[in-house]
């Protein structure tokens, strides 16, 4: 599909508002597409968002549960985390899977590339399918208090459809894998 490449936004100034090792926040003074002055805030993410949907031979997957500070509620998700931009994303995916579940996979397929909240941030995610699973010891980070459950994929798909799973990376991965199953194209 053809789309315009011209950027209708004009930046007239910028101010760094906040910065830490994971994100920065910049406020821009802009001329908007209608030609009027305004402001726009952008959250810059210093890492890629990485997600892994592990799927065993019996079509079970592994959900990771944790309390998410930002949304002030418990969340069930696939194994996921951040990967430095300068590292190979697949290496980050392998690390996250091992850290959170203790699993290693023989076969990896990139499922999806996704912008997670493109109205306010540049956060970009890559989601993988992991097959040929082998169990080792998990190595969670100190900030993670995780519960891991092995769950039939069909149940996880229903959880997504019922709104019980709302994490965007997990939703995208589960819907993509469901399509692959329906199309008989599951790697």
Q: Are residues 14 and 81 in the same domain?
A: no
Structure token pair of residue 54: 């592990």
Asked if residue 102 and residue 150 are part of one domain, the reply reads yes
30 and 91 share one domain: no
Q: Is the pLDDT score of 179 beyond 70?
A: yes
E-assigned strands of 9-93? 10-19, 23-31, 37-45, 47-54, 60-68, 73-77, 80-84
pTM of the model: 0.92
Given its phi and psi angles, is residue 35 left (phi above 0), alpha (psi -120 to 50 degrees) or beta?
Answer: left
Q: What are phi and psi of 145, to 5 degrees?
A: -115, 95
Helix 168-182 to helix 153-161 angle (10° resolution) is 120
Do 88 and 145 fall into the same domain? yes
- On whether both 39 and 80 belong to a single domain, the answer is no
Shared domain for 71 and 37, answered yes or no, is no
* 41 lies in the same domain as 70: no
The CATH number given to whatever domain includes residue 112 is 3.90.79.10
Q: CA 63, CA 65: separation in Å to the nearest integer?
A: 6
- The boundaries of the domain holding residue 40 are 10-45
* Of the candidates 105, 97, 58, 91, the residue with the CA atom closest to the CA atom of residue 77: 97
Establish if 4 belongs to a structural domain: no
Q: Do 32 and 108 reside in the same domain of the chain? A: no
Q: Give tens-digit pLDDT for 149-164.
A: 999 999 999 999 999 9
Shared-domain flag, residues 39 and 85: no
User: What tens digit of pLDDT does each residue of 45-60 get?
Assistant: 999 999 999 999 999 9
The verdict on residue 17 lying in a domain is yes
What's the structural domain count of the chain?
Answer: 2
Same domain, 99 and 86: yes
Q: Would 160 be classed as within a structural domain?
A: yes
Chain segment 83-133, per-residue pLDDT in tens: 999 999 999 999 999 999 999 999 999 999 999 999 999 999 999 999 999
């Amino acid at each position: 599909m053809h789309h315009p490449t011209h950027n209708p936004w004009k930046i007239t100034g910028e101010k760094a508002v906040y910065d830490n090792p994971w994100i920065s926040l910049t406020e821009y003074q802009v001329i908007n597409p209608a030609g009027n002055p305004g402001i726009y805030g952008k959250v810059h993410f210093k890492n890629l968002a990485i997600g892994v949907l592990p799927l065993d031979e019996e079509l079970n997957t592994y959900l990771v549960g944790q309390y998410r500070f930002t949304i002030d509620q418990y969340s069930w998700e696939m194994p996921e985390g951040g990967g430095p931009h300068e590292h190979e994303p697949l290496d980050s995916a392998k690390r996250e899977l091992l850290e959170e579940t203790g699993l290693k996979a023989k076969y990896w397929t990139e499922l999806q590339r996704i912008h997670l909240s493109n109205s306010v941030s540049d956060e970009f995610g890559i989601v993988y399918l992991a097959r040929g699973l082998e169990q080792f010891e998990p190595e969670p980070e100190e900030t993670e208090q995780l519960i891991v459950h092995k769950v039939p994929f069909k149940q996880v798909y229903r959880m997504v459809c019922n709104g019980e799973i709302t994490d965007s990376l997990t939703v995208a991965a589960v819907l993509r894998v469901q399509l692959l199953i329906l199309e008989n194209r599951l790697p």
